[in-house]
């Protein structure tokens, strides 16, 4: 088993990426609002590090969406990468996102992985 993780740069692609992942065999995706250091450091006003996402997003800055899912193997990961690139473009290009998979040593909580 692997954990497939993607930080999606342009959140307007979220639904299309989720559809592409589903078609590639990825199920049970969890989505978190996130942001990276570059977006925080670009802010003109120095806010407290504890300002929270609500203030960050209220400032007009757009964050990322981080997607993660437990998948069966590398074949599913590779299919999800190809499907994602059909939506967002080549992941080696700026402002698309990053994807990676990491091995899962143990799994608890559901038998649906």
**pLDDT tens, residue by residue, 28-67:** 999 999 888 777 776 655 555 545 554 555 545 568 999 9
* Structural contact between residues 53 and 65, judged by C-beta atoms closer than 8 angstroms: no
Confidence at residue 38, expressed as pLDDT on a 0 to 100 scale: 74
Query: Which is it for strands 97-103 and 30-34: parallel, antiparallel or unpaired?
Result: unpaired
* pLDDT digit string, tens, across residues 10-32: 999 999 999 999 999 999 999 99
**Count of other CB atoms within 10 angstroms of residue 71:** 25
Residue whose C-alpha is closest to residue 99's, from 86, 109, 85: 85
């Amino acid at each position: 088993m692997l954990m497939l993780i993607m930080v999606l740069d342009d959140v307007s692609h979220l639904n299309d990426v989720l559809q592409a992942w589903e078609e590639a065999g990825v199920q049970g995706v969890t989505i978190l609002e996130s942001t990276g250091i570059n977006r925080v450091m670009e802010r003109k006003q120095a806010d407290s590090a504890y300002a929270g996402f609500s203030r960050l997003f209220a400032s007009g800055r757009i964050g990322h969406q981080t997607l993660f899912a437990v998948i069966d193997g590398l074949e599913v990961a590779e299919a999800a990468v190809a499907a994602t690139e059909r939506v967002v473009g080549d992941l080696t290009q700026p402002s698309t996102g990053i994807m990676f998979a990491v091995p899962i040593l143990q799994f608890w909580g559901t038998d649906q992985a």
